[in-house]
Amino acid sequence: MGVETGTGAAASTGRAGIVITGASSGIGEACAMHLDRQGFRVFAGVRAERDRAALRAKASSRLTPLRLDVTDLDSIATAVRTVSEAVGEAGLAGLVNNAGIAVPGPIETVPLDLVRRQFEVNVVGQIAVIQAFLPLLRKGRGRIVNMSSIAGVAAVPFLGIYGASKFALEAMTDALRLELRAWGISVSLVEPGAIATRIWNKSACLAESIRASADPALVALYEPLMRGLARRATDAERRALSPNAVALAVVHALTAARPRLRYLVGTDAKVRAAAKRFFGDRAHDRLVAAILRLPKSGQWVAGTGDRKVKV
């Protein structure tokens, strides 16, 4: 973690253009505001008209809100035309792929259409945006920053589908970094831990929707675990970092002379990544099981124990 590379030209302020997806709130909005204040020409991708108006009210005239849905190829193409007309032959200094969703729940209970939706947004959508903006990034010898998660380094239970999408994003980014090396395009990953954003509120609502539509027998199997986890998730949310902490890492990836390949953000992310890297999978499993107070292995096998979970 934190290995540096010298590829890619450092973005400078002024007319340098940077595209950010998922900029309506949270990390994306924080990135847009930080880069706008530093003088960059920010193209902030949002899905709703009300979000465009909100960004205009908060930012300088340099910031241009774009309607950009990463799952809609026509929307992406329109955004590329708008940005291309604005930056011309200067091209882009950066692309920040931040748009994403989190599908929660035990893997056994998640409907397959939601599994597909998770990957459509978090993986396929990112690739579609990268493919579309690469000609402008080549012109500007720009940089790409992909928003991953500690869940893409060390998976956790009940976010397995989300984690799988982030593991896929990590693999894609590692390959892309080498593929674009010849053009001097730097590619970095940002791997935050717990961050206070709306994605988790949306995820909680989605979890309740999944629970309501799932097979009652399956829901009953996991119910004791989910009750305890909900309480601990609330505690973790209180300790979550501000999106500004992630925005600072993104700014460094775009502007530093030697951007890092990976940026772990937050003590929780660093501890879990270290446990996984230096002590292996079993140690990481024990750490997560202890934090989440999961039952011991085999505890729920018929006739060997009760189904109580400490909360």
Active-site amino acid positions: 162
- E strand residue ranges, 5-63: 17-20, 41-46
**d(Cα 251, Cα 27) in Å, to the nearest integer?**
12
Q: Is 299 helix (H, G, I), strand (E, B) or coil?
A: coil
Q: Return the bridge partners of 111, or none.
A: none
- Report the number of secondary-structure helices (H) and strands (E) in the chain: 10, 7
Q: Are 11 and 87 in contact (CB under 8 A)?
A: no
**d(Cα 26, Cα 196) in Å, to the nearest integer?**
7
Label residues 206-243 b or e (16+ Cβ within 10 Å = b). Answer: bbeebbeebeeeebebbebbbebbeeebeeeeeebbeb
Q: How many CB atoms lie under 10 A from the CB of residue 284? A: 21
Q: Are 191 and 149 in contact (CB under 8 A)?
A: yes
